[in-house]
A and B are shown apart, each in its own frame.
Chain A
Amino acid sequence: MKTFVVSDPQRGTIVYRDRKRHLWLASLFYPLVALSGVGLYWVAAAEWVLWIPVVSLYAGVSLLDHWVGADPNNPPEAVVPLLEADGYYRWLPMLTVPLHFAVLLALAAFVATHALSAAGVAVAALTAGLYSGLGINTAHELGHKKTEVERRLARIVLAVPVYGHFCVEHNRGHHRHVATPEDPASARMGESIYRFALREIPGGFRRGWASERERLARQGKSAWHLDNEILQSYLLSALLQGGLIAAGGLVMVPFLAIHNVFAWWQLTSANYVEHYGLLRQRAADGSYERCQPHHSWNADYVVSNLLIYHLERHSDHHAHPTRRYQSLRSFADLPTLPNGYFGMFLAAYVPPLWYALMDRRLLALPHIGGDLGRVNVDPAARARLERRYGGAASLAA
């Protein structure tokens, strides 16, 4: 195990061992989970086994988060520059990029060459979409970085689920407007994930495209210039998915459509749980306060965080967006979810369950203190929530 040593002028020698260092290698093996359904199908010669990867990922990770629990591994701030400079961590997400192409091609080939029922095609597409959802998360990790090679790989992996606008939209849009009613990627209290998706998916596309158009206009170029990084990614998508339809036939059309939408849905799910109801306050001049640690929901579970590059240490990510996954830190006293992101996704898919788990937890946060005026409330739900929680300042225990 590698030891990081820093001599701090105030605190003396600081020693840190990253106990998760080698666990991050797991990201190279997730394709085996995605492809395990096909392996089981060959052994069992039954279609229902194709459901095993999707179901076991959602249910299994939620249960493992519950059993394995929180992550005691937290680097001291003084060690962060050493962690950032360590090339081992930098290579891993980059190495997963070709795996995302390989898994989509493998599952597409399976669908094109086997006589599956409609449900069989759908579950193969969901499985591929699940892994491509992790690809969007990898693009998130890479797209925040400063090197051209990482940014380019982010656009390349986003081509797999046709989501090339994500990095521009996320960095320039979401991070600036997070936890405000204006942000299509921040969920409002009382807004179900299904209504949120209808605001988040088109809203993110529009904002990403507008941002890229402005950048190109400053260079004196048209939005349709090939320097448009969104367009570059979409062109690669057209090549990949057009090629699959040409080679695999019409069955590829529903397969790819379900794959794409399910990959987007993973991102929608993450966006839904990350900032639900949280609201930045406005200054007298109408501008929003800077994003604070209490404007993100955190979870600090070993297992789910290994799947998504520490995305659950979300407050630190918003405080330092270019910081690498291995250096993200967890802090006590932040808004905290009762399970990891995957368990919370399942809860979000049943809106009454989500509200039951989250609404009181949200109102009880110290900076909200039961005051709906300090919450990002869905206008359509405001009357209902005021009737229910209007006199609820006492919730702040």
Chain B
Amino acid sequence: MARFRCPDCGYVYDEARGDPREGYAPGVAFAALPDSFVCPDCSVRDKADFVADEAPAHPIAAMPGTPPRA
């Protein structure tokens, strides 16, 4: 399962977790998201802008309130 990152605000779409609040269940592949997908946090980057996130999943990074990595 891969992770994709918003290049502006650092939001990460983790395929293993999905984004249930946005209506994407755990396991939904990034490629399966609609083309109209926009970053759920900043809304100013689209699906096409997202970049593959190679960093290993770290429990801290998934905590709400963690500022985006500089």
Contacts and interface: CB of A to CB of B under 8 A. Distances in A.
Interface string A170-191: 0110011000000000000000
A176 B46 CA distance: 10
B43 A175 contact: yes
A290 B7 CA distance: 14
A291 B44 CA distance: 8
A218 B24 contact: yes
B29 interface: no
A218 B28 CA distance: 13
A320 B65 contact: no
Given A146-B41, A176-B44, A320 B9 contact: yes
B38 interface: yes
A176 B38 contact: yes
Interface in B10-61: 11, 20-24, 38, 41-44
Nearest to B45: A290
Given A217-B23, A218-B23, A320-B9, A171 B43 contact: yes
Interface string A58-86: 00000000000000000000001100110
Given A175-B44, A176-B44, A321-B44, A85 B67 contact: yes
Given A321-B9, A322-B41, A146 B23 contact: no
A289 interface: no
Nearest to A321: B42
B1 interface: no
A219 B23 contact: yes
B65 A81 contact: no
A148 interface: yes
Q: How large is the interface on A (under 10, 10 to 19, 20 to 34, 35 or more residues)?
A: 20 to 34
Contact of B22 (A80, A81, A148, A215): A215
Given A175-B44, A218-B24, A219-B20, A147 B9 contact: no
Contacts of B68: 322
A216 B21 CA distance: 9
A69 B33 CA distance: 48
Max chain A Cβ within 10 angstroms of own Cβ: one of B22, B38, B42, B68? B42
Nearest to A84: B67
Max chain B Cβ within 10 angstroms of own Cβ: one of A216, A318, A321? A321
Interface in A122-147: 144, 146-147
Interface in A281-320: 290-291, 318, 320
A80 B69 CA distance: 11
A321 B43 CA distance: 8
Interface of B: 8-9, 11, 20-24, 38, 41-44, 64-65, 67-68, 70
Given A175-B42, A322-B41, 19 more contacts: A84-B67, A146-B9, A146-B64, A146-B65, A147-B65, A148-B64, A176-B38, A176-B43, A216-B23, A218-B24, A219-B20, A290-B44, A291-B44, A318-B44, A320-B8, A321-B42, A321-B43, A322-B9, A322-B42
Interface of A: 80-81, 84-85, 144, 146-148, 171-172, 175-176, 215-220, 290-291, 318, 320-322
